[in-house]
Amino acid sequence: MVIPTVFNPVVFRAGVMLGRAAARIIPAAGEPDKTMLDMGCGTGIVGAYAARSGFRVTSVDINPDATKVAKANALLNDQADRITVLEGDLFAPLASQKFDLVCFGPPYFKGPPKDDPLSKAFWSEGVIARFCRALPDHLTPNGLALIHMSTDGDDEGFLDSARDAGFDISVFARKNYLNEIMSVYELRLPRRAAA
């Protein structure tokens, strides 16, 4: 289910691509409590993919319409017992929670969003840098993040922010749509040597 004030993950392709990437990260047998954060959840499609793969999901969005739609989609997909939906700005509603997997499709374009809720899915000022700075505090020791970006947006700005936050970055998935190239980047913190 999607409504006009919430980012459409199928029309814009981003949510489906990130959801499929998340579904490839399957908790091992005997790890039923692996956690996933669906940041900027929109319709909740990425969290639904992860919940079906075995994760306990927390979904967050700043758009109140998106949180309502994500809750409805969790019910429609029989995943309401595995998905918790919260409204808020980035990590603000999460306190000190840590996750095994964090997925985020940030706004691509730099600049202030308009007054309508949907524009926050496309435009932002400083969201990517704030996300990258806070992410290390919300990953488990072996946790990873999958971030969806497009050549239509600020790929280089995102990569610079992720490097500045200390992440190792690799390409997890990439697709060339001719008019744009979409990538899912994997972020991991370097493993620390035991003292």
Residue 130 has pLDDT above 80, yes or no: yes
What ranges do the domains of the chain cover?
Answer: 32-150+165-188
Please tell me the predicted confidence (pLDDT) of residue 26: 79
Average of per-residue pLDDT across 72-85:
96
Residues contacting residue 150 through CB under 8 Å, at least 6 positions apart: 14, 108, 180, 181, 182, 183
Phi, psi of 61 (to 5 degrees): -150, 145
Please tell me the predicted confidence (pLDDT) of residue 58: 98
Average of per-residue pLDDT across 144-150:
95
CA distance 89 to 140: 21
DSSP code string of 145-177: EEEEEETTS-HHHHHHHHHHTT-EEEEEEEEE-
Nearest Cα residue to 130 out of 84, 175, 92, 186: 92
- Higher pLDDT residue, 75 or 112? 75
Please tell me the predicted confidence (pLDDT) of residue 134: 97
Please tell me the predicted confidence (pLDDT) of residue 30: 64
Average of per-residue pLDDT across 111-128:
80
Query: Hey, which residues does 89 pair with through a beta bridge?
Result: none
Please tell me the predicted confidence (pLDDT) of residue 122: 78
CATH placement of domain 32-150+165-188:
3.40.50.150
Please tell me the predicted confidence (pLDDT) of residue 194: 39
Residue 143 has pLDDT above 90, yes or no: yes
CA distance 33 to 113: 36
Phi, psi of 52 (to 5 degrees): -65, -25
Q: Would you place residue 138 in the very low, low, confident or very high pLDDT band (cuts 50, 70, 90)?
A: very high
Please tell me the predicted confidence (pLDDT) of residue 179: 87
Residue 187 has pLDDT above 60, yes or no: yes
Please tell me the predicted confidence (pLDDT) of residue 153: 84
CA distance 76 to 169: 35
- Higher pLDDT residue, 133 or 122? 133
Please tell me the predicted confidence (pLDDT) of residue 192: 56
Mean pLDDT of the chain: 90
